Structures are given as structure tokens and as C-alpha cells.
Structure 1
């Protein structure tokens, strides 16, 4: 495969989606002049241009794309060149209406938006291969080409189709996965409710049923849909690798957006040459910068810890939420550089010039409707200079302090019907655990449940409902080897087919946690439980409680009231050289911080509690040196201690002893002495 450090960017990437086809050619010259002024190094191009590039079947018009690529090259701007397969032309759907996807309810979508695609459709696959081949043959040697951008945000907004073509494809997929119908019946537990099949030909997609459908059937259909998307990505990628060797191929992920949890990015991360991500702030009243940090950490983890690239975010407000506020002054730079701190090799936006027409005309852009005499434009130019000043960061790696287990397939299983409580939300628990670690100034890696965890002093496991036997062995080996493990309720319960593990809960995690759970007792709406612990300390939980039976674990906190009054609520199990904690209720933020604080002591982690809240401190290390990023999300100036002197790259000033970080700003110090992980911060 090509190297992930693409041949074309050569610098930290700064730019955005460029859609010159929306504008007369007289605007193009102005665009590239302003790109130079803003310090743009790369743009994403051609992502939605299929109808222009192939105006009728098999007839291609590349003249306009030739001109814009030449113009970009003449002005020192590289291209992330898209295959436009996310938006087939109207002529394609007129010839192949069956390529439009069908919902679970049997409704076929219409042409008129983006990504309305049945990914099993053979006509679509053939047409996508044809346009990809034509682009690769024409532009493989173009000097502006930095990398290929296949499709756009796979799984958004359509992740699956339930048509007859997909039904036939699904049967073939089941045959490849299980071999026989008997194996399918066994995996799905079809003896329940008399749902057994005599042949694979009898199996359809899990369409709308009068009550809860077979959960294993639904779970496998999610896997099938994800695999189908990935089949199409690989088909385009392999064409590009063959015809344009040496140029990386990517597609833009959306790793941490809860509305986009239909894709298993652990599997996708292995398929791309460079992991890229799109991230947009969800303005629902929560601290948006915490989700941003989480998205960046998760994307870096999908990349295996290697540098990745933020391929889209917004300069200011977006256009698709119920309410779309503008970003405050300085917030765009803060967002951008926070991504860089956590491993991104630059900051790209959607989009370069704000559209006058179409569904996203109110989505902000680098060059807004207000033009260059605007706050957004001035901040874009300033940010471009800041990104350029961070050249030494390129290729370095972010240093983590702890890990969190994350599994998209476990999420899929938890969202199916008839779970113990509709108030339990696996994503909410993941957010809560992450926010607690964030507020202790810890940088988090995410890990697949079967990954090697030995290098992390602390691993947290929020709501890992689906867990394989291998996961159980892995977590036991981690704790026995000296690690500190913290597991939340409703974890370890079922296997990959959504079948309950034999024996008492929590299934494959019984041994490492040193306990069993006789029953769950979810709480009523608005109901809380009190928990008492060491020194009479009192905590509060809600949503969930359990009847825990210690079998080697010690009770640290006890239910003071509620269904499980007098029973263990939080336990600690010494196993081998390590420790495994279990939290059997949904703790509120102060309570979760208290419990994790105790786990930090076991792990020997300095939680950096003396640092100001909402001031991030993140390290990147490598051949380019040791860089300390300080991101101040508050309205007050802050000072952070430095263990070694260095140069602040955004201002050019020397820093020694303490680093001043003005309100709402970012500072990046390249330390004079490259210490190991954990150095650079004052004690």
C-alpha cells in the first residue's frame, strides 16, 4: 500500500472542500488568490461532481477539472481528489430506479439528495467502477494530486437498504459467513418463537415486524450492511491503487457522532491508507469541546495511534441542527488546534466558499457570504499562519495516559428492542466516563476489546454489553498483568450472536471482576439510589441497580437504599498484580469522579487535578520534537507549569517555568529537552 504520509501534502494540511463547479470560472482566479492569502495547502475536490464529469453514460467531460487542477498546481495548492460516487447523476437513476434504497418499512427513497444508494445494486457498482477508472487514468500523474478521496461519509445518511437485491446479497453473505442454514439457525436461536429456516433462500432482511424481531438476525444485518459499504470502498480503492500507485486512498469517517454509529470503524481503519475524519459540534447544551476531544482521540485510535487528518469541520455554524449558533471569536482556531493536538496532521473545513444555493447554503465556510471583510475570514487567515508555524509537529504522535474500550458492534446490539431499561444509554455512559477522564486532564486512547492493553495503566469499560470469550480472557490477562480495570454495569452479557453467555451475569467478566450478579433491577423514571462508602462518603446513582454477589471482590461502596439496599454497589477485586473495579449503577458526575479517583490511585496515575478545568494539556512526541499543546476553553487566562523550557510556536516567545495561556486561546510549546511520556508537565 502507499505510504500514509502522502506525496502531495508535504505540510500540515489547511484548506477545505472546494466546489468550483458552483461558480463561474471568473471566480476561480479570485479563489486561488485568496487561498494563497489564507495559507491554504490542500483542497478536497470533485466529491459531488459525477453529473458534470459524466454528463451521459460513458461520456466524460474533464475539461473543467483539468483547468482547476492546473490552476491549483500553479498556485501551490494540492488536491484531495474525490471519486464522486456518493451522488450518482439523475440519468443513472432514470435508467436504474432499483438503485434507489428501500427502507425497512418498504418505502423506496427518491432522487433529489445525496447518498441515496443501494450498495448491493450491480448497476451502481459497475457505474462507480467506471467513473473511478476514468478519473484514475486521467489524473494519476497530475502534480497537484495529493491523495484520493473515495465517496463521502459512508453510512450517512443511508447505511442500509432492505430491497430484494439486498435480500439476495444478504443470503450470499450468510452463506459465506455460516456455510449452512443449520449454522444460521443455531447462531440466531431460531428455535425461539418457531423462526427456523429450511434453506437460506427463505431468509429476508429483517423488515418491519408486528413486534420485536429476532435480535441476532438484526445484528447480522447491520454487519452485512457495513460489510457491503466496505466492499464498494475496496472496489474503488483497488482500482486507484492499480492505476495510480503510490498515492494514498482514504474516505472521510465520522467516528464519534452518535447519529453515525452504523459503521464499524475498527474494520474500516484497516482498509484506508490514511485515516481521516469529519467532526461537527453538536450544540445541544453540553460542553462541545469535550465531544471534540473524544472524536479526535477515537479517530487517532482507529488509526492505530498514527497521525490522521481532520478532513472536515466548520468555521462557524452549521445548517442541519435544530439550532445552529455561530462559533464565538477564537473558537474556530481552538477547535482546529485541539484536533491537531490529538494527532491530526492539519485542519480542513467544509467548505472553502460558502454556497449561494442548495441545502447547505447557510453552512459556514472559510470564505463566507460576508466576504473578506468579516471576522470569519480574518480568523481563517490567522489560523492558516498558525498551522504553518506548527511544521515540526508533523509526523509526531500523541501520548495517551489511559484507554477506554469501544466497540461499535456492541452498540448495535444494545440498541435493539426489549432491553432491561429504555433509560440505559450506552453512548451516554461512554460520554460520561470520557468526560470524567477529560476533566482529570488525561489523554485517552480507545481500544477494541480484544486489543493488546498492556501499555495502559488504566482501562475503563463503559457498558460493553456484547463481549466475546476472547474479550473476557484479554481483560483478565490485562488485570493479572498489573493493569487497573474499571467496568460499568450491563457489560460482558452476550456473545457475538446476542446470546447470553452461560451462567450468571456478567458473563465473560465474572472471573476478572470476582463477582456474580443474580439479577438486575432497573430503577423507575426519576428514581435515584444512595450509596455509602469509605468514611461515610455518599454517592448517588440512577437508572440501574443490581443484586451483586462478591466472589473474591471486596465491597467498597454499598447501596444505602433502593431495591438492592445493603448489597454491594461498587467493588474492587485484586487479581494477580492488578485490580478490577465494578460499578453496578449509573453514577452521576461527582460520584463517577470519586470512584475513578480511587482507581487512579491503584493505577498510579497523576490525575493533574491542580490544573484549571477546561484547559487541555496534550503531548505529541516524535522525530520533530516534544510538543505540549495547551488549549484554554475558558474565559479566563490560565498558567500551566512546564518541566522543561521551550519555544512557543504560535508567538515565537520563550517559555520557562510556567506557560501563560490567555483566555480562549491555544499555545504550543516545543520543549528543548525531549523527555519520555509524561515529562514536560510540572509536578
Structure 2
């Protein structure tokens, strides 16, 4: 199993998982030098006479890897237990003969029709009791023994066949776990959930205590009475819902581990699966990062967001953080429009290049697209591709080829790392808990606040890491906690020590409210952070829809200015904290809105309302001073992004101009994409990117 459910495991990152031999499992895809370049290749959709053309065009574009086999279970195993590798042999050998490395997928996200016919009981059942059938993508019940056996069997067969093939660079297990379905309410899930709970709690008495089942007379007297949190007359016990989210993630991860271990018995090539940072809410990436050899991610722009370069950076920073700062693999993104959003906006000229280099700037050492050749049939026929329907005469194709040349010029960037002195806390379990029903306000959203604080830091040109509240935070001068609703006593103690030891902690509202069982902390709201923040939250005072409050900020010089906030306010009782800003009106009028508390050698800030972007920048500006930080880029435009990757001998400064006006950036060195020297100032045209190598 991926991890023992009996205790919450302290998240770490992408070291080889249990059972791995660290001496034989590589930490990077084998045989991929420089920045790897490629994408998903689905040749089974085309006659074999197209394959040679594809490979020739891959070489023209500078492609160095192709991901194959991800959706080909029925071709590899056309009948249960009967394998046909002839077509895949020809494909892998063709790629190898042309110097293109293979990322080999296990096709277990798409069980064949014969599997559904033989095992109809293995279908996923929705919370409303509806079985889901064949014809889409996504997996069957991860708790079904027949599925686990079949998935492991095909993974083992592939490893036996190709585990030592000289073209093999990386194993790609499954595809985007948790998408499109994460929770399963089938009979298989019911039995597995009871087993998981026994392992976690040991006895029914412990389960009853942790779930608070005396409320509404829910106490269990027999394990057979414990059910799934399916649709019911009213709200289901939130502790049960939270545990079911943990269980569902665990079951998906156990499927991955079963396939991974079957592969490792026959291959020393590293194993990964493609995450979807911040896009898939059902997977706890801190836990998943422990199980893969190489961290990889899929990312697709939100076409409706005019500043989606910020959320791209956020996803990339989380991915790098899950990888513990090590280089990571961008398995998928798009050359232009996707096909599954309400309005699929095409990328503008140069955006393919800029998006890709933004991922590299934030730690990726591989750039992949979905997919190589655009599909003529099926649900994704309108999804962009490296080789689009318009062919090699298209703008997209020209940009694909030009970008391959760019990556050749950036080969020496590989292996360098992004450094940061600021961390943003993210805990998926807390987000699960906060997102359940009957919270004080439906407008309080963990992902929204995290994105808002991240955006404020991005606008200040601050590069951040993400961290779990249990992590060692000593290397960070500033830690921001945008949404720590669920905070264990141990994690709160960790944050309190961080402040006492000289750190600066900024905590947003609705944090430190419940423990790991969604029970309010003894001592009241925010109790475990009381020492660090110097206050108690006496009562929540959320606002009505559309209401706003004014917050008066007192500057160091004695002057005052007003900020605007909405959604939420708190009634606070101060226990040593100083008032930095007060409510001018609203339900908490006259009370403190923003506070600062000296604790040990550090400071704890508390922001008790949802400030707008200007308000968040005001808080951060003051917190930077406490932390001894001077954000770079004060004279840069808001949409100019500067990120530094540090190598053994050189720094690589990425300058990405997402704006509409040229930008000038102070830097000295050699610009790698053009080969020109830079002496003091670099001018980057609108929409362009530069990468400057300089000595430490």
C-alpha cells in the first residue's frame, strides 16, 4: 500500500518510494540530456505508413522524447490475458532508430470493453448511486480487486517486454489520477473503506470518538454498520466525509504503487505519473510526491483568465515544491487551444514559447505537449497539437520547430534550481475539510485565498515555494498561510516555533479552526496559533453577499489610509498583538482587522478579512520589512516576470514579458536564446522571453 492510513504521514517529496532501491533507480529520465522536448504520441490512431512521416517531423522539430501507450490497453491486451506487442515493438524500435527516447505509459486509465463486460461490478458508482460505464476516459473502481489485478498484470507484461529496452527513458503509470472521477461509492469501495478505517483507528470506540458520533445519534456498534458518505437526507458527518476523501486518494495511490512495484521487479528505469497541480482537488500531492521517482505535471491555461500566466506560475511552483526543489517534468500542456473549456481560446503568436519557458524558469527540465499529431476522431479532435490539422504550413508548427531550437540553446540550464526565501502554505487535507457543507460562509474558499495571496506575491516579483505546515521552514524569511482551516496541534507548534526562532508568519482568516478530525480545537477558534499571533478569535462575523467593509490602516508615520474588504470579518480579543488596521464599519466596526505580534525573535501577522489586491500588498509590504526582505523588480511592470535558476557555476535569469510594452531589466551576462552579451540592462520586447547566463 502507498502509505499506512493509521496516522497522518508527514509529507516529504520525490525520493524513491517504499520498496525502491535508491542505488539503482535514477532520479531523472534516462538518456534525456539538456531540456527534454516532446509529447504524447498516439500512433494507433493512424495507419503505420504515417509513422515514418511522424518520426521525420519529430526530428525536424528537435523532439527528444515521445510518450506512447497511454490509452492503448485494448491493443496491448485485446483479450483478457492475451497480449499483442507486435505493433508496439515496431513503434518503439522506430523511435529508437531515430534517436527519440520513449516514455512508456501503462494504459490503465482506459480499461477495454472486455473488462467491463467481464467485471460489471467494478464500475465506479457515484454518490447518488449511479454506476458509470464504458465509452469515456477515466478508471473503474480503484477498490475493485479485478481492476487492481488486471492493471498490475498489464503493467508487469509491459515491464517484462520493455523494461531494459535501450530507448526507454521513463515509465508513465496511468494518466492523471483523480480525473475525471476520484470518489467511488461501490460495494468494493464500501468494504475497502471499512478495512481502511480499521487500520486507521483500530477500534470502533476510537472511530466513534474521532468522528464525534454522539452528535445526531450516529454511534456505531459494529463495523458492518459503517457505510459510505453517500447522498443522504441532510449533511453527512464531516469527519466521515474528510476521511472518505483521504481514503479515496489512498486507493488511487495504492493502484499506482501496485503498478509501480510490478514494473520495478523488471526495470530500473524511473517511474512517474502525471499530476495536475491545483487543477485536481482529489489528490494530495505531498503524499503522491513520496511515491514517484520523478515528479511530473500536466498544466492547461484557464482561457477565461486574462492573467493566466500567474496561475501557470503557481502550478509550476507547487510542482517544484512537491519535488523538493529538484527538476521536474512538464508532461503535458497545449500548443494552443484545448477542447474542454466553455470557450477554448487559441494562444497568441509567441505564447506557446512563453508558456513553455515559464515552466522551465520555475524548475522544469522537460517540456511535453498533448499531443504530437491532432486527432481526427474522438472527443479531443479540436484539441491543439504539435502537428495541427493545418499541417506543417501552420504558425503553430513553425513555433514548435523554433522552440526546439530554443531548447538546444538552453541545454546548460538543466539541473539548475530555483531558490526562494518565501513560502506559501498549502495542505490539501485542509482544503478538503474547508470545502465541506455548513461552513460559516460559502464565499470562503481555500483555493481562492491561496491564489489571491500568491498573485500579490507574484505582482511584487517574489518567487515562492509552497510548503506543508509540517515542513521545516527555517530557510524561509517569510511564510504566508492563506487557508489553514485544518491545522493539527503538531503543525501549529511547528509554525509557532518558526516565529519564535525569528520567522515572519502571515496568517489569513479562518485558520487554525479544527484538528485533523474536523473538530474545533479545544480553547476555541485559532487556539493552536494563539502564542504566535497574540490573539483569540471570539466570533466569526461573515458578511452578506455583496457587502463590503472599510479598513483603516495606520502608517508608521501616523497617517491613515483606507483599504476595502469583503466576505468575512472576525471579532478578536487581543492577547499581546498590536493593531495595525481597524474596521471603520461593518459588524466588527472599531475592532482590529490586521494585527502584528512579537513572539520570540519573530512576528506573527493576522489578517481577519478578505482584503482586495491593494490591501494584500499593504500587508506584505509591512511583513517584508519584518522579514528583512526587499522584493526585486520594484521598477518593473506588473506583467514582467523575473525568475533565477542557480546552477553550479552560473545563474540563469529568465525574463518573461507578459505585457504589451517593452521592459528593461538590470542584468549582466550572455543572453542564451540570441547569443548576445548583456552589459547592465536588458531590453525585452512585449511578449518575448530572454535567458541570461551570468557568473555567481
**TM score, norm. by length of structure 1:** 0.97
Tell me the equivalent position of 2:296.
276
**Does residue 590 in structure 1 map to residue 614 in structure 2?**
yes
Write out aligned runs for 1:1-16 (5 A).
Answer: 1=22, 2-16=25-39
Deviations 1:162-184 (Å, cap 9, x if unpaired)? 01111001000011111011111
Contact 1:346 1:387 in 2 (8 A): no
Contact 2:193 2:247 in 1 (8 A): yes
**Does residue 637 in structure 1 map to residue 662 in structure 2?**
yes
**Of 26-35 and 500-509, the range deviating more from structure 2:** 500-509
Distance 1:401 1:341 in 2: 17
Deviations 1:216-244 (Å, cap 9, x if unpaired)? 00000010010001111001111111110
Contact 2:636 2:663 in 1 (8 A): no
Higher relative CO (Cα under 8 Å, sequence separation at least 6) belongs to: 2
Q: Secondary structure at the match of 2:170?
A: strand
By how many angstroms is 1:648 displaced? 0.7
By how many angstroms is 1:10 displaced? 2.6
Residue of structure 2 aligned with 1:530, choices 537, 545, 550: 550
Distance 1:118 1:636 in 2: 52
Q: Secondary structure at the match of 1:243?
A: coil
Distance 1:388 1:200 in 2: 60
Residue of structure 2 aligned with 1:104, choices 127, 132, 137: 127
Residue of structure 2 aligned with 1:408, choices 428, 431, 436: 428
Which runs of at least 4 in structure 1 moved beyond 3 Å after TM superposition? none
Q: Secondary structure at the match of 1:152?
A: coil
**Does residue 43 in structure 1 map to residue 63 in structure 2?**
no
**Does residue 580 in structure 1 map to residue 604 in structure 2?**
yes
Contact 1:83 1:132 in 2 (8 A): yes
Deviations 1:624-664 (Å, cap 9, x if unpaired)? 6211110110111111002xx31111000011101121110
By how many angstroms is 1:346 displaced? 2.1
Q: Secondary structure at the match of 2:79?
A: coil
Tell me the equivalent position of 1:677.
none
Tell me the equivalent position of 2:244.
221
Tell me the equivalent position of 1:457.
477
Residue of structure 1 aligned with 2:277, choices 255, 258, 261: 255
Distance 2:118 2:45 in 1: 26
**Does residue 508 in structure 1 map to residue 528 in structure 2?**
yes
Tell me the equivalent position of 2:499.
479
Contact 1:500 1:507 in 2 (8 A): no
Unaligned runs of 5+ in 1: 675-683
Tell me the equivalent position of 2:168.
145
Tell me the equivalent position of 2:42.
19
Tell me the equivalent position of 2:563.
539
Contact 1:250 1:272 in 2 (8 A): yes
Contact 1:398 1:621 in 2 (8 A): yes
Deviations 1:82-137 (Å, cap 9, x if unpaired)? 01011010001100011110001000001001113100001111111111111001
Deviations 1:228-270 (Å, cap 9, x if unpaired)? 011110011111111102x10000000121xx11100000001
**Does residue 560 in structure 1 map to residue 584 in structure 2?**
yes
Contact 1:8 1:147 in 2 (8 A): no
Q: Secondary structure at the match of 2:690?
A: strand
By how many angstroms is 1:438 displaced? 0.1
Deviations 1:355-406 (Å, cap 9, x if unpaired)? 0000000000000000000000000001111111111111111111310000
Distance 1:455 1:286 in 2: 34
By how many angstroms is 1:141 displaced? 1.6
Tell me the equivalent position of 1:614.
639
By how many angstroms is 1:6 displaced? 2.4
Q: Secondary structure at the match of 1:446?
A: strand
Contact 2:101 2:169 in 1 (8 A): yes
Distance 1:163 1:70 in 2: 42
Distance 1:566 1:132 in 2: 64
Distance 2:159 2:378 in 1: 29
Q: Secondary structure at the match of 1:533?
A: strand
Tell me the equivalent position of 1:364.
384
Contact 1:394 1:624 in 2 (8 A): no
Tell me the equivalent position of 2:220.
197
Residue of structure 2 aligned with 1:76, choices 90, 99, 112: 99
Contact 2:483 2:509 in 1 (8 A): yes
Contact 2:548 2:566 in 1 (8 A): yes
Distance 1:208 1:239 in 2: 37
Q: Secondary structure at the match of 2:265?
A: helix
**Does residue 123 in structure 1 map to residue 139 in structure 2?**
no
Count of residue pairs brought into register by the alignment: 668
Write out aligned runs for 1:378-527 (5 A).
Answer: 378-527=398-547
Tell me the equivalent position of 1:627.
652
Distance 1:190 1:454 in 2: 39
Q: Tell me the C-alpha RMSD between the 2 structures.
A: 0.9
**TM score, norm. by length of structure 2:** 0.95
By how many angstroms is 1:285 displaced? 3.1
Distance 1:180 1:338 in 2: 50
Deviations 1:421-461 (Å, cap 9, x if unpaired)? 01111111101000000000011100000101111111000
Q: Secondary structure at the match of 2:341?
A: coil
**Does residue 334 in structure 1 map to residue 354 in structure 2?**
yes
Distance 1:228 1:508 in 2: 31
Q: Secondary structure at the match of 1:490?
A: coil
By how many angstroms is 1:286 displaced? 4.0
**Does residue 180 in structure 1 map to residue 186 in structure 2?**
no
